[in-house]
Amino acid sequence: MSAQAAGGRLVLAATPMGDIGDASQRLRDALATAEIVAAEDTRRTRSLAKAMDVEITGRVVSFYDHVETARIPMLLEEIGSGHTVLLVTDAGMPSVSDPGYRMVAACVERGLPITCLPGPSAVTTALALSGLPVERFCFDGFAPRKSGQRKEWFRTLTGESRACVFFEAPHRLADCLADAVEVLGPSRRAAVCRELTKTYEEVVRGTLAELAAWAIEGARGEITVVLEGAQPVSAEPADLVDQVESLIASGLRLKDACVEVSAATGASRRELYDAVLAARAAE
């Protein structure tokens, strides 16, 4: 732990996701008074300040993914010298799928003061708008880019009882939801939230199958998805054999039918598979 001059600190500040009216007075004051403004995109931060009729009097430095590590020593020195470093990202809260975590960790290691100016967050906004039970939730950042990795990730959510929030790029949304249907089943509920707080804000709610079909037409803007938590198992695998056989009769393979019933009930796919084979052998 190092000594520092009085007053130096790191300030994390949430910025509007789209509607300038969401900017807090504390954000306005911080932009006007901080000695250093570390911004993910300096042009966007200057434009934000101009839109709020705020004059940035401090030095503005870039702080995006590729320069984050290199900038930290200089910013630590500024804080240690008694200066305020304001860290802002393009929209929402720093450190939440945006730059910031490494800077916070470095300040914690040095014993330097850190505070936060709360404000807009796509995560909590999407949860509130989803219409799903979200008393308990997890946040997983961006969904994996590749289909194989994405399916493996969805498998970890098969029995997750908490709602899950994640971000997705618009050009990958349809494939992502199609993978979700394959792994989690068509009946799991979700909400796709796009352009939150902006002019063309839209929230589409439904089952994964319905959302996957909707997304084929293409979606634009920034996307946040809320996935319903898995429902508790309400029956033993043997009691679900008829559901599996019904899906097989409609054209699904045994393995795929077990996946769908598992996703809908939370029952183990392997135990369902074994229960079907046992029931057939007993006939």
- Residue 137: other Cβ atoms inside 10 A: 20
Q: What local confidence, expressed as pLDDT, does residue 2 receive?
A: 44
Q: State how far the alpha carbon of 132 is from the alpha carbons of 67, 86, 228, in Å.
A: 39, 35, 6
Residues in a beta bridge with 142: 167
Q: State how far the alpha carbon of 125 is from the alpha carbons of 52, 99, 161, 219, 246, in Å.
A: 22, 20, 20, 19, 39
Q: Are strands 84-88 and 114-117 parallel, antiparallel or unpaired?
A: unpaired
- One digit per residue, the tens of pLDDT, for the chain of length 283 reads 344 456 799 999 999 999 999 999 999 999 999 999 999 999 999 999 999 999 999 999 999 999 999 999 999 999 999 999 999 999 999 998 889 999 999 999 999 999 999 999 999 999 999 999 999 999 999 999 999 999 999 999 988 999 999 999 999 999 999 999 999 988 899 999 999 999 999 999 999 999 999 999 989 999 999 999 987 766 788 989 998 998 898 888 999 889 888 877 778 889 999 999 999 998 8
Q: What local confidence, expressed as pLDDT, does residue 44 receive?
A: 96
CA dist 168 and 225 (Å) reads: 7
CA dist 155 and 262 (Å) reads: 11
Tell me if residue 227 falls in helix, strand or coil: strand
Is pTM beyond 0.85? Reply is no
Q: What local confidence, expressed as pLDDT, does residue 96 receive?
A: 86
Q: What local confidence, expressed as pLDDT, does residue 243 receive?
A: 87
Q: What local confidence, expressed as pLDDT, does residue 6 receive?
A: 62
Question: With contact defined as beta carbons under 8 Å apart, do 60 and 45 qualify?
Answer: yes
First to last CA, the chain: 73
CA dist 283 and 271 (Å) reads: 19
